[in-house]
Structure 1
Amino acid sequence: MRLSISRLAPIPMGLTLAAFGVVTPPATAQAGTPGPDLLGVSQSATAPTNPVVGTPPTEASKTTLATSQALMVNVTSCSESDLQAAIGAVATVGGTVNLRPRCTYTLTDATPPNDDNGLPVIKNNVTINGRGDTITRAATAANFRFFEIDGTNGNLTLNNLTLSNGHASNSLGNGRGGAIWLSGIGPALTLNDTSLTTNTADTYGGAIDNDNGVVSVNRSTLHNNRASAGGAVFVSPFGGSGTATVDRSRITGSHATILAGGIAAAVGTTVTLTRTRLADNDVTGTNAQGGGIAQAGTMTLKRSEVIGNTTTGSHAQGGGLFDTSGTVKLTDTPVAGNTTNGTNSRGGGIFDTGSGTVDLTHSLVTNNRALGTDADGGGIFKASGTVTRIVSPVARNQPNNCGNPSTVSGCS
């Protein structure tokens, strides 16, 4: 049985659909409020302060009835309107969108079309299959992120796709998640062979802000993103729990102005990195913390790398990793070539404070630097908390390995 597109929802040319269901427009996006207590995740409307992106086809589309009720939408053009319609068709009922290979979809709206999102809010189980495609925000467009994933049923999977130049702004929204924001209770995001690059959030999560959701990143790259906290990723429990797993991926070249150039993880969160490179991220500003990672939850790194990250500014801490009152376990994960630079800077490689615990197993801490007047702890600086080492040498750091005097057992 074949039905003309006019018999269904108003899907424009350039789309083919299979296995249709009832299509309803996405509901109003849930509002959220960023807050100042970054790793403790107090929520408020103020910006954080420190605690510590064609031509349509000529033929009309057809819709096919199938036994399954899940929508499958094939986007046959590279036009913005076709992309919007395709995602709108599945956003609330679920389904799959297959993009035309190697297209660049440029979003040009002068006003964000879906609250502060460039694309419809995801409220059901949605998969978007790219084949080397890019979705980008035009430089002349309003500031908006691409996706909000909302609530328990919100589940978005992106395959072989790039999202670039998203901007979640305080003036047009809540400033969270430059490319993607997980909001509400228990949404989920999976990235496979996907790149999030050059996205900006005015508050949390330059690429991804995960509030009380589940994030899985596989064989993907997060590069050159920017935020106040969590230059690439911010993970928050937001009244529940937030988790993130990252496997065989790269988090590189991202920037923050308060803490965590790469990943920020708040109290009550769980983050696991496996075979992942966290490199060349930075935080610049007074009391800059955690060039690569700043965290107060439970974080595990296995066969990964924390390399070449930087904090710069007066009282900068933890060029590679900053932990406060959380638990960090590194196994077969070198912490190398990280730098903290500024007056009274501490912990070129690792800074641990509060009741934090840092466990190193077969993880070399080397060639890290604490620079500037009264700098200390080139490799590790333990203000308080506990640092343990199992076959994990701390060597060749400047101006010293573990502070002067050292408070890390067995390290001088």
Structure 2
Amino acid sequence: MSRRHIPAVLGLVTGALVAVPAPAAHAATVTVPCSVPDLVAAINAANSSPGPDTLQLARKCTYRLAAPDPVSPGNGLPEIRSEITIDGRGSTIARDKTAPKFRILFVTGTGNLTLRHTTIKGGFAVDCPFFEDDLPGIVCGGGISNTGTMRVTRSKFIGNTSESGVFAQGGGIDSPGTGSVSETEMAGNHVIYNGSAIGGGAAGAAIVNDGPLTVTRSRLTWNTATVTENTQSFAFGAGIISFAPTTVEDTVVSKNRSFAPGGFARGAVSNGIPEPGRMTVTGGAITDNTSDAPHGFAQGGAIANNALMTVSKVKISGNRAVAKDGTARGGGVRVGPFGTLDLTDSHITGNVVDAPNGTAQGGGLDNPDGGTLTARRNQVLRNTVIAKDGTAQGGGLYHGGGTTGLGTTTLEGNTISRNRAGDGGGIFKASGVLTLNGDVIRDNRPNNCSPVGAVPGCTG
């Protein structure tokens, strides 16, 4: 998938030997009454003014949008084209349930939006400005689409949707520009592929970014990514998926679901196609998420990484990878064939892989296809792999070398204990290179490591 970044216009003016100073641009603050026409007028005026503007919304008002913007009908409000702060003061900007489908806000390449103390609700994207020229049919950003600069703080994104018959991304936020999200709740957002063609996709129910993004002290909960049944399509990143450098700090990603019957369901936190840039997740928790792919492939209940990723001091617990009559891998963490993951000082506990009549592998950690996993000082405890009438391997860790046989897992100072599977309750090694260095592997059922002798230094 091609990427193009729309640079912000900086407005730099070079002078000759003698420059005539321009009049200073002063920040303006405008109080916006509880009225949609007044809000529209305020944004249009701010776009036309030379300096930054702050729009203070009426306290706890609901600005209910009944029709799209006539100039940019993919959006409910006028495009953000200049430096604008929207201070919601507890207000809500919502698409009316009877209104046509449109997202709430679009930040253009020249736009610079700060959004605070505002709820964005019920947006429903019908286009994607970032891809409209080279990849028509992609839909993105049900709440906000940002191709400029965006800062969101202490806000909520509730029940926004991106739906497409080609590819849908960013149910809550789509950010190919530069973005940050802090102390914000993203809940009940949806990304949906409703097409019939093979290989469609739905990515990033809460957030997707094609540009640099930082997420801090936020909550991503109850978001869903779904695809049409039996189209071999991809539902991934029900919480967040990144295609660019991304930092996630002290954030809770919980109770999100990727659902792909007959397709591919991947982690609530996903790192996308292999591109330059790293996803770093530090602190916080990724808990009780589900990747469900009956008759298909469930890959990573919590995390699915196929690029560069660092995870440190994160609680990864209660997640599930489920695939009835299919293949389920990585209840906690799955490393793909192009993935490189550094995992340190984290707790991977109580995750489950379940594939009735199918293949289930890697309850806690899964590196099956030739990726690179380095894990230090982690607790891998009480993870479970089950497959009634099928194959269940690697309760704590499943490792395979992939088609090249070059996959590598390096363990150092981890505790892998009280995990269970049909075979390899602690570790199952199919092929590739797996090394231990001071790890504690004990009390797993029915055995600690399998096949016998496959993991040097592990017995029982």
Structure 2 residue corresponding to 1:320, chosen from 346, 358, 364: 364
1:66-105 alignment to 2 at 5 Å? 70-76=83-89, 78-81=91-94, 88=105, 90-100=107-117, 104-105=119-120
Q: Secondary structure of the residue that 1:300 maps to in structure 2?
A: strand
**Does the CA-based 8 Å contact 1:86-1:97 persist in structure 2?**
no
State how far apart, in whole Å, the 2-side matches of 1:91 and 1:406 are.
Answer: 59
SS at match of 1:169: strand
1:8-27 maps to which residues of 2 (within 5 A)? 12-13=38-39
Of the structure 1 ranges 72-81 and 159-168, higher mean CA displacement relative to structure 2 is found in 72-81
Secondary structure class of the residue paired with 1:13 = helix
Q: 1 CA distance for matches of 2:331 and 2:62? A: 45
Structure 1 residue runs of 4 or more that deviate by more than 6 Å after TM superposition: 3-6, 14-17, 141-144
Change in CA separation of 1:78 and 1:112 when aligned onto 2, cut-off 3 Å:
farther
In structure 2, the partner of 1:277 is 315
Larger CA deviation: 121-130 vs 87-96: 87-96
Instruction: Give the structure 1 partner of residue 409 of structure 2.
Output: 358
1: CA distance, partners of 2:48 / 2:411: 53
Q: 1:192 aligns with which of 216, 224, 240?
A: 216
Aligned twin of 2:74: none
How many angstroms apart in 2 are the aligned matches of 1:125 and 1:333? 37
Q: Which residue of 2 aligns with 1:263?
A: 303
Does structure 1 residue 204 correspond to structure 2 residue 236? yes
The whole-number CA distance in structure 2 between the counterparts of 1:16 and 1:390 is 62
Shift, 1:3, TM fit:
9.2
Distance 1:263 1:138, change over 3 A: closer
Which residue of structure 2 lines up, in the alignment, with residue 292 of structure 1?
332
Give the C-alpha shift of residue 86 in structure 1: 12
Cα shift at 1:399: 0.3
Tell me if the contact between 2:225 and 2:257 (Cα under 8 Å) persists in the aligned partners.
yes
The AA in structure 1 aligned to 2:302 is G
Matches within 5 A, 1:220-235: 220-227=251-258, 228=260, 229-235=265-271
Where does residue 133 of structure 2 map in the other structure? Answer: none
2-side partners of 1:137 and 1:330: how far apart? 37
- Contact 2:94 2:120 (8 Å CA) reproduced: no
Counterpart CA distance in 1 for 2:151 and 2:349 is 33
Computed over aligned residues only, the root mean square deviation of the Cα atoms, in angstroms, reads: 3.4
What are the Cα deviations for residues 71-122 of structure 1, in whole angstroms up to 9, with x where unaligned?
A: 323224522259xx9973745334342423xx6543165x757644312311
Matches of 1:136 and 1:112, distance apart in 2: 18
Q: In the alignment, which residue of structure 2 is the partner of 1:386?
A: 433
Q: 1:386 to 1:361 in 2, by over 3 A?
A: same
Cα 1:56–1:358 change in 2 (3 A) is closer
Task: Name which one, 1 or 2, has greater alpha-carbon Rg.
Answer: 2
Is the 1:191–1:217 contact (alpha carbons within 8 Å) kept by the matching residues of 2? yes
Instruction: Describe the shift of the 1:248–1:136 C-alpha distance in structure 2 as closer, same or farther (beyond 3 A).
Output: same
Distance 1:333 1:147, change over 3 A: same
CA distance in 2, matches of 1:70, 1:259: 41
**Selected match of 2:156 from 134, 138, 141:** 134
Is residue 2:450 matched to residue 1:396?
no
- Rounded Cα–Cα distance in structure 1 between residues aligned with 2:90 and 2:185: 17
1:29 aligned residue: none
Identify unmatched segments of 5+ residues in structure 2.
1-25, 50-59, 64-81, 96-101, 129-138, 227-234, 293-297
Correspondent of 2:250 among 199, 202, 219: 219
Aligned residues: 348
Deviations 1:123-167 (A, max 9, x none): 11210111xx4220179x9997011112xxx11101111001111
Contact 1:225 1:231 in 2 (8 A): no
Deviation of 1:252 after TM superposition, in Å, equals: 0.7
**Residue identity matched to 2:247:** S
Distance apart, 1:22 and its partner CA: 5.8
Q: Distance in 2 between matches of 1:230 and 1:12?
A: 43
- 1:176 aligned residue: 203
Q: Determine if contact 1:16/1:73 at 8 Å carries over to the other structure.
A: no
Asked if 1:149 is matched to 2:172, the reply is no
Q: What is the CA–CA distance in structure 2 between the aligned matches of 1:4 and 1:165, rounded to whole Å?
A: 32
In structure 2, distance between residues paired with 1:325 and 1:339 = 23
Q: Which amino acid aligns with 2:407?
A: G
Counterpart of 1:237, as a letter, is I
| Cα offset, 1:174, TM superposition | 3.9
Correspondence for 2:187 among 156, 161, 164:
164
Q: Distance in 2 between matches of 1:252 and 1:3?
A: 41
Corresponding position of 1:311: 353
Q: Percent identity?
A: 26
Helix, strand or coil at the partner of 2:121: strand
1:301 & 1:255 partners in 2: Cα distance? 21
1:316 positional shift: 0.3
Q: Distance in 2 between matches of 1:265 and 1:181?
A: 15
Per-residue deviation, 1:242: 5.0
Is residue 236–residue 242 contact of structure 1 (8 Å, CA) maintained in 2?
no
Residue 168 of structure 1 and its aligned partner are, at CA, apart by 0.7
Is residue 162–residue 196 contact of structure 1 (8 Å, CA) maintained in 2? yes
> 2:250 matched to 1:250?
no
* Structure 1, gaps ≥5 residues long: 24-53, 58-68
| TM-score, with structure 2 as normaliser | 0.68
Q: Which amino acid aligns with 1:305?
A: H
Secondary structure in structure 2 of the residue aligned to 1:368: coil
Q: Which residue of 1 aligns with 2:17?
A: none
Q: Deviations over 1:20-74 (max 9, x none)?
A: 5569xxxxxxxxxxxxxxxxxxxxxxxxxxxxxx6358xxxxxxxxxxx743232
Instruction: Give distance in 2, aligned partners of 1:170 and 1:181.
Output: 15
Q: Which amino acid is 2:175 matched to?
A: I
